[in-house]
Copies of this chain bind each other. A is one copy, B any other.
């Protein structure tokens, strides 16, 4: 298993845990928790695979994704008292997933020969769309439209990845640098409540 595959499964596990904790808080039943964990974890990658017209959807051709999600949901249910009500835990898992999936999506865009702007879009779609589905299904306005520079963090990560790639930085090192950078940017953004401007005037 390459670092790439490992990161993809780690991102899947992180998003599955964050999705499961979200569903538990919403008082969903066992299956609701499983389904929300599932769509949060695979939603972004699925849309990406459909958009690039991939031969097969990642989680359908590699059963390890399903096993990873089952284990992650079990983990979330068992340790929910320790991790669940600390919104910091949910935030942490969500941020790790965000960093990893941004890279995974951008990288797959590059491998398929897309324009850099499309690669960045694919990185953002991979990283954020699972959460968008989760929020939409739960009848909430997606976080991405409200939270502090959620999407911006994602875009900065994708741009960093493309620049390092261009300067021939070793891919494994690039993966690790970019992931850590996304996590730091988001932590800083939340800590200092950084916000992008809005344009509404009375």
Contacts and interface: CB of A to CB of B under 8 A. Distances in A.
A138 interface: yes
Interface string A131-164: 0100011111110111001011001000000000
A181 interface: no
B114 A32 contact: no
Contacts of A200: 24-25, 27
Contacts of A152: 31
A29 B141 contact: no
Interface of A: 23-33, 35-36, 46, 50-57, 60, 63, 66, 77, 80-81, 114-115, 117-118, 121, 132, 136-142, 144-146, 149, 151-152, 155, 195-201
19 contacts: A24-B199, A27-B200, A28-B145, A29-B145, A29-B195, A30-B199, A31-B152, A32-B145, A36-B145, A51-B57, A51-B60, A63-B117, A63-B118, A66-B121, A81-B201, A136-B136, A138-B141, A139-B140, A139-B141
A30 B194 CA distance: 13
Contacts of A81: 201
Most B-side CB within 10 Å, residue of A25, A56, A140, A199: A199
Contacts of A25: 200
A149 B201 CA distance: 32
**Considering the complex of A and B, which 9 residue pairs feature the smallest CB-CB distances, nearest first?**
A29-B196, A32-B145, A30-B196, A31-B151, A27-B200, A24-B199, A139-B141, A63-B115, A27-B198
A56 B151 CA distance: 25
A81 B120 CA distance: 31
A100 B32 CA distance: 22
A25 B200 CA distance: 6
A29 B197 contact: yes
B142 A132 contact: no
Contacts of A51: 46, 50, 57, 60
A146 B136 CA distance: 15
